[in-house]
Amino acid sequence: MTVTLHDVQQAAERIRPFAHRTPILTSESLNQRAGAQVFLKCENMQKVGAFKFRGACNAVFSLSEEEAAHGVVTHSSGNHAQALALAARLRGIPAYIVMPDNAPQVKKDAVAGYGGQITFCKPTLEARESTMERIRLETGATVVHPYDNERVIAGQGTAALELLTEVPDLDVVIAPVGGGGLLSGTSIAAKGLKPGIRVIAAEPEMADDAYRSMKEGKIIPSVNPKTIADGLLTSLGALTFPIIHQNVEQIVTVSERGIIEAMRFVWERVKIVIEPSAAVAVGVLWERKVDLSGLKVGVILSGGNVDLNKLPWQG
Amino acid sequence: MTVTLHDVQQAAERIRPFAHRTPILTSESLNQRAGAQVFLKCENMQKVGAFKFRGACNAVFSLSEEEAAHGVVTHSSGNHAQALALAARLRGIPAYIVMPDNAPQVKKDAVAGYGGQITFCKPTLEARESTMERIRLETGATVVHPYDNERVIAGQGTAALELLTEVPDLDVVIAPVGGGGLLSGTSIAAKGLKPGIRVIAAEPEMADDAYRSMKEGKIIPSVNPKTIADGLLTSLGALTFPIIHQNVEQIVTVSERGIIEAMRFVWERVKIVIEPSAAVAVGVLWERKVDLSGLKVGVILSGGNVDLNKLPWQG
């Protein structure tokens, strides 16, 4: 395995001055609905409103002085872009951000607000990658991939590290899966601290490439996925897939309806703002597709960046 | 004074098995915007989604067995109704709730969900009170007024008690004011624990009866107020006014625009769901009408019950 518990622990030390140690919330309403004891790790309250800051921060502060001077570059539909822009600003280096032109306005504004230098491209993986490569050649910036990067994976694992430090007797951890950075980091931290823990992934039914990849034993890329969970559109990567294949018990898919219902339930009853991608993880409990009754279940709420002008349950 | 710090401390003991000790959150974005160090006491995460559970719970569990057997009755536009219904259910006694027929559907449903027996009436104070009196005579239930009740005031003060126990070096506490139950209880707890602390009230400009009452030195009733902060429509009471008059430094009024902007900012940046009445307290910092720069400011976020189908910033 390319990333270890020790890497996650080092990442935790490295990002400690910059990242929030996010709260862990519980809710009786949610426990009743889920039939389990649920611990919500609130990465929606992380800097930039998403766990992505952990990985980006670890990557940026791992660079040598010389590397750092040329800046960093990435492509991202939003949260990773904001995260990298802020991490770069904290280190005082440029961040070049390639964004799909259909990204939500609130995310474009946020990236610009953190000082990211945005280049827009078509919303395809090919367009993103070719644009990023062009910028890399022009500037000498270091590519910080949104998930297929060891430093990023180690950084993302620090959320689970904190969760298990505060609630060591968890039976299960659930994390959403898109590219697999959060999930692979979570699984390394959780299995490293507690080998018997069950790691379950949550994925939208409408973007079930990770589910299919696990079944086939190889990466099946996502083809034009359509889900409200816009943070989970990407496919597994060469680094994240083997980690997930080894550590993750199963990938549970959640319907669009389940995602929206779980999201609304959390807003209404837990009183926190989570984005659809975070609601996918709650959706595993909501739809009860896997029996977790009576167990202690940690859920990584990946983020809380939503456009408040238009909510998913509004027609 | 009719209610003392000792009463608040006793209330805290009494409600401990039933009420949440709510989180206290901080936010760098909010600190920057406010120019102060802000501590948010999250009563939006209290049972029934509002501080009102504290007062109702203290009132219900203070009743003798004989009184309790006849149940409790109140009139309320929402949060107090839910709170009393739940507290009564926890004690196993009936709760008769008089509600204005224009109360939000989500609040009607919630009261019914907690087992409250609802009687609807016209949305005037007179209709509410006469309907309640009729029910009291029919059932022998004990009236639990939403704010002008010593047990309720003592219960509401427990939020500030917790806040000051965890953050003892606060310079200022801000609470919203409608009928004054939360504000008077807050002021008793805060001044009792720390005589030098400043207690500031937050009130909608469009429902500024408490502001005018303080100025005139007597209760000026609210006349047909129109504000989005629907929890703050009521006027000060005979019990709450003198407590507030003695303890509260000033009442700061907040514009409707300030309420909505502060509410949206908290949702967007702090990632928690608060109702407009809670946003009024944040609005004092938002509009900077009083200089609190560099101070440690506790804010009681009164509740988080909103209709998620229609948000204030949606046209």
pLDDT tens-digit map of B125-153: 899 999 999 999 999 999 999 999 999 99
Closest by CA to B236, choosing from B161, B176, B279, B301, is B176
The matching CATH number, chosen from 3.40.50.1100, 3.40.50.2020, 1.10.760.10, 3.40.50.720, for A5-50+153-301 is 3.40.50.1100
Judge whether B283 is closer than 8 Å to chain A, CB to CB. no
Judge whether B313 is closer than 8 Å to chain A, CB to CB. yes
Please indicate whether, in this complex, the C-beta atoms of A271 and B270 are within 8 angstroms of each other. no
Please indicate whether, in this complex, the C-beta atoms of B264 and A25 are within 8 angstroms of each other. no
Residues of A in contact with B268 (CB under 8 A): 273, 308
Contact yes or no for A260/A279 (Cβ under 8 A): yes
Which B positions 30-49 lie with beta carbon below 8 A of chain A? Answer: 42, 44-45, 49
Over residues A199-228, mean pLDDT:
94
Which tokens is A112 given?
A: 């610009």
A14 class by beta-carbon count within 10 Å (0-12 exposed, 13-18 middle, 19+ buried): buried
Smallest CA–CA distance, residue A313 to chain B, in Å, is 7
Is B1's pLDDT higher than 60? no
CA distance B230 to A43: 31
Cβ neighbors of A221 (< 8 A, separation 6 or more) are A209, A235
Cβ neighbors of B10 (< 8 A, separation 6 or more) are B154
> Which amino acid, one-letter code, is at A150?
E
Nearest chain A residue (CA) to B266? A273
Using the structure block, give the residue that is written with the tokens 């949550």. Answer: A202
pLDDT, tens only, A32-65: 999 999 999 999 999 999 999 999 999 999 999 9
Judge whether A25 is closer than 8 Å to chain B, CB to CB. yes
CATH class entry, domain B5-50+150-301: alpha beta
C-alpha distances in Å from residue A288, one per residue of A112, A285, A296, B291: 40, 5, 15, 51
Nearest chain A residue (CA) to B18? A28
Contact yes or no for B23/B116 (Cβ under 8 A): no
Angle at A292 between CA A290 and CA A295, to 5 degrees: 165
CA distance A85 to A97: 8
Please indicate whether, in this complex, the C-beta atoms of A311 and B311 are within 8 angstroms of each other. yes
pLDDT at B163: 98
Start-to-end Cα distance in chain A: 46
B53-143 CATH:
3.40.50.1100
pLDDT at A125: 81
Which tokens is B251 given?
A: 């009442």
Alpha-helix residue ranges (DSSP H) falling in chain B: 5-15, 28-34, 52-62, 65-69, 79-91, 105-113, 125-139, 150-166, 181-193, 209-216, 240-247, 256-265, 276-287
Give SS3 for A63.
Answer: coil
Question: Which of A271, A274, A309 lies nearest to residue B44, judging by beta carbons?
Answer: A271
- Predicted ipTM of the assembly: 0.92
- Could you confirm whether A77 is annotated as catalytic? yes
CA distance A25 to A42: 7
Q: How confident is the model at residue A208 (pLDDT cuts 50, 70, 90)?
A: very high
Residues of A in contact with B304 (CB under 8 A): 271
Candidates B109, B271, B273, B274, partner chain A, best to mutate (most A CBs within 10 A): B271
Count other C-beta atoms under 10 Å from residue A283's C-beta.
31
pLDDT, tens only, B238-296: 999 999 999 999 999 999 999 999 999 999 999 999 999 999 999 999 999 899 999 99
Cα B264 to chain centroid, rounded? 20
pLDDT at B68: 98
Judge whether B18 is closer than 8 Å to chain A, CB to CB. no
Q: In what order do the strands lie in the sheet with A198-204?
A: A24-25, A37-42, A296-301, A172-176, A198-204, A250-254
Which tokens is B309 given?
A: 């189908």
Is A209's pLDDT higher than 90? yes
Judge whether A308 is closer than 8 Å to chain B, CB to CB. yes
pLDDT at A282: 98
Please indicate whether, in this complex, the C-beta atoms of A308 and B311 are within 8 angstroms of each other. yes
Residues of A in contact with B309 (CB under 8 A): 313-314
Using the structure block, give the residue that is written with the tokens 């902060």. Answer: B229
- Could you confirm whether A130 is annotated as catalytic? no
pLDDT, tens only, B83-97: 999 999 999 999 999
Question: Which of A49, A264, A271 lies nearest to residue B304, judging by beta carbons?
Answer: A271
Extents of the domains making up chain A? 5-50+153-301, 53-143
Smallest CA–CA distance, residue A266 to chain B, in Å, is 10
Over residues B193-209, mean pLDDT:
97
pLDDT at B112: 93
CA distance B302 to B230: 12
B189 vs A224: which has the higher pLDDT: B189
Judge whether A292 is closer than 8 Å to chain B, CB to CB. no
CA distance B49 to B303: 5
A48: left (phi over 0), alpha (psi -120 to 50) or beta: left
pLDDT, tens only, B12-36: 999 999 999 999 999 999 999 999 9
Which letter does DSSP use for residue A232 in this model?
G
Q: Which of A52, A107, A108, A191 is catalytic?
A: A52
Is A1's pLDDT higher than 80? no
Contact yes or no for B281/B252 (Cβ under 8 A): no
Question: Which of B23, B272, B314 lies nearest to residue A273, judging by beta carbons?
Answer: B272
Contact yes or no for A294/A35 (Cβ under 8 A): yes
Give SS3 for A243.
Answer: helix
pLDDT at B95: 97
pLDDT at B224: 86
Judge whether B105 is closer than 8 Å to chain A, CB to CB. no
pLDDT at B105: 83
Angle at B103 between CA B100 and CA B107, to 5 degrees: 120
Q: What is the DSSP string of B45-75?
A: GSGGGBTHHHHHHHHHHHS-HHHHHT-EEEE
Residues of B in contact with A268 (CB under 8 A): 273, 308
Q: What is the DSSP string of B252-287?
A: EEE-HHHHHHHHHHIIIII-B---HHHHHHHHHHHH
Work out the mean pLDDT of chain A and round it to a whole number.
95
CA distance A159 to A302: 10
The answer to whether the A5-50+153-301 and A53-143 domains have the same CATH topology is yes
Count other C-beta atoms under 10 Å from residue B90's C-beta.
17
How far is it between the farthest Cα atoms of chain B? 56
Work out the mean pLDDT of chain B and round it to a whole number.
95
Closest by CA to A25, choosing from A182, A163, A152, is A163
